[in-house]
Structure 1
Amino acid sequence: MSAPRTAGSRTIARTLPPPDATRPRTRPPRRRRGPRRASGARWFTPWLYLLAPLALLVTFTWLPVADMVSYSFTDWDGLSPTSNWVGLANYTDLFTRPQLFQVFWVSLFYLAASAVQICAALYFATVLSFDTRLRNLFKGILFFPYLINGVAVGFVFLYFFQPGGTLDTVLHWFGAGPHLWLGNPHLVNTSLAGVSVWRFTGLNMVLFLGAIQSIPPELHEAAALDGASRWQQFRHVIAPSIRPIITLSVILAVSGSLSVFEIPFIMTGGSNNSETFVIQTIKLAFNFNKTGLASAAAVVLLLIVLLVTWLQRVLFPDERVERS
């Protein structure tokens, strides 16, 4: 016999949930195909934008460098369709000729000129970063020489340094006699280096000025409230803040002093002990038809510039600020 149902049991039976209701309802995971496709497109899109510049870089930079390295192991004269493989003979010939490396002494004049132009550019950039009258005018005057073509600069100073020219006329007012600025072997490199100072000071000045203007103004205000002078502000605020730009300018100065070409080539053609390494390489290739030897000299110059840059980065590393 079955137990009689009471009202209390009916109430309990109604209030209890069904067996399936206690189980958690789980939905099957949805397949998200859209984000995966978006991530794949997001990975591939930057390479589409980089395709054109990479193609130009490989075509006009890396392939010519590879050809230059291959020519350095041959005796190609630059004209004949064939060439012979000579191995390291060009490099042996290059390092056994003292006169080929004597031209590096000329680079010391341009290296000293680079130091002068960096100091001058840093001074002008610091002065013009403060509230100075007519500072925009002075910025334009200092930057204008860099806008002039190097060939035009060479011809302008060719007349400037000629006997009885502009410089001799000005010096005559002070009782100084004329000089052979480009004909005297003791004065020609100093004169040419001075032209490079006049031309490239504006470029460094703009680089330094942009770096100084990026310094937070709160640092200048705090230094001024503490009673710091202009020199103390430069030493403790400006110089540490623009150290990476100074490092970049030093690298460009060293590499540029080793590869000077257009100003001495236009003004003297390398005569009177003013021949640079690049001018000598050009003469080997086009005057003496020794393209293989000239390619070896170009490879050596490239390695020297890379070595100097690497040493500079090792000795004076950039300070990196770690973000918490």
Structure 2
Amino acid sequence: MNHSKRTPYIFIAPAVILFAIFTAYPILASFYLSFQKYEAGVYSFAGLSNYIRLAGDSIFRTALTNTFTIFIFQVPIMIVLAMVLAAVLNSQLLKLKGFFRVSFFLPAVTSLVAYSLLFSIMLQNNGLFNELLGYIGIGPIPWLSDSAWAKVSIIMAMTWRWTGYNMIIFLAGLQNIPEQLYEAASIDGAGKIRQFFSITVPSLKPVILFAGILSTIGTLQLFDEPFNLTGGGPGNATMTLGLYIYENGFEYFDFSYGSAVAYVVVVLVAILSYLQFRITGDES
């Protein structure tokens, strides 16, 4: 291979090497580790014992239920809000578009730890949220100490952070829809709401699929919010799969079992992504 043919490989080599070391190797190593057990300071092959153990693990079932509960409520709410905001910010009648776009997107670039701690302060019994509710005669809500309200708190925090991120994705999609479609619909007597559901939503189907899959992956890996807001409590009410993987790996040092939980998440992401492809009718 002469010098000119080697040049492209030399340029991509650093990226390939870094990908192999920090992405490909950990993926393969954790998969192998999920079939191991650690006894007397030595790892040995354990077959499917870690995966069989999952079936009888009540905390795993709780984490799975909590994760899906948050997923079922949070992702649709966030996707709908992001789409509506994008449609509003794409309007020709709106002034100061740049200001509003930046304002809604700012939470997405805020530190995960910083915003989680900020929400934990605002959600205290004497925090901002309860103070505002007190002005309209609603008593203090146990946002972080009640199992149901703790889930609501996490959903609120995630929605605040990621709605603006998905809004930008939808906004990019909206700007690729030909304006002539809306003009033709107006001539035919279609109002703004009819145009939204007959033109905007169908045209955004690939973007909705993309945002939905990203949100699914992020929710099934949910860690920062429950870790910083509730610590998985009260009573494992906000224990998620991501937090359970962390506890097994870095608190109990049971990396084999934690790897098994991680690959259950991989399978769930694959199944949910496939279902989203089927529901949207995109089988490409």
TM-score by shorter chain over 0.5: yes
Matches within 5 A, 1:273-284: 273-284=237-248
* Structure 2 runs not aligned, ≥5 long: none
For the 8 Å contact 1:111–1:257, the answer to whether it is kept is no
Matched residues in 2 for 1:301 and 1:319: separation? 23
Structure 1 counterpart of 2:114, from 152, 156, 168? 152
Q: Please state how far the C-alpha of 1:279 moved relative to its aligned partner.
A: 0.8
Structure 2 counterpart of 1:301, from 250, 259, 265? 265
Q: Please state how far the C-alpha of 1:163 moved relative to its aligned partner.
A: 1.1
Query: Greater helix percent: which structure?
Result: 2
Aligned counterpart, 1:91: 51
Matches within 5 A, 1:5-24: none
For the 8 Å contact 2:205–2:280, the answer to whether it is kept is no
Aligned counterpart, 1:213: 175
For the 8 Å contact 2:62–2:239, the answer to whether it is kept is no
Aligned counterpart, 1:289: 253
Structure 2 counterpart of 1:264, from 207, 226, 231? 226
Larger radius of gyration: 1
Identity %: 28
Q: SS at the partner of 1:76? A: strand
TM-score, normalized by length of structure 2?
0.90
Aligned counterpart, 1:161: 123
Q: Please state how far the C-alpha of 1:47 moved relative to its aligned partner.
A: 5.2
Aligned counterpart, 1:23: none
Match status 1:53 vs 2:53: no
Q: After superposition, give the CA deviation of every residue in 1:210-268 in whole Å (9 maximum; x if it has no partner).
A: 11011222223333333332112222222222210001111122222222100110111
For the 8 Å contact 2:31–2:259, the answer to whether it is kept is yes
Structure 1 counterpart of 2:102, from 140, 143, 147? 140
Aligned length: 280
Distance 1:256 1:226, change over 3 A: same
Matched residues in 2 for 1:110 and 1:195: separation? 13
Q: After superposition, give the CA deviation of every residue in 1:42-85 in whole Å (9 maximum; x if it has no partner).
A: 8x7765554443333222111101110111111237x94x3222
Q: SS at the partner of 1:102? A: helix
Matched residues in 2 for 1:137 and 1:310: separation? 37
Q: After superposition, give the CA deviation of every residue in 1:181-209 in whole Å (9 maximum; x if it has no partner).
A: 10111211111111101110001110000
Distance 1:99 1:319, change over 3 A: closer
TM-score, normalized by length of structure 1?
0.79
Matched residues in 2 for 1:230 and 1:319: separation? 30
Deviation above 6 Å: which 4+ runs of structure 1? Answer: none
Aligned counterpart, 1:109: 70
Q: Please state how far the C-alpha of 1:316 moved relative to its aligned partner.
A: 2.8
Matched residues in 2 for 1:74 and 1:301: separation? 18
Matches within 5 A, 1:197-276: 197-272=159-234, 273-276=237-240
Q: After superposition, give the CA deviation of every residue in 1:124-173 in whole Å (9 maximum; x if it has no partner).
A: 11111111122222212211111101100110001000111111111111
Distance 1:48 1:228, change over 3 A: farther
Q: Please state how far the C-alpha of 1:309 moved relative to its aligned partner.
A: 1.4
Matched residues in 1 for 2:7 and 2:204: separation? 35
Matched residues in 1 for 2:141 and 2:283: separation? 48
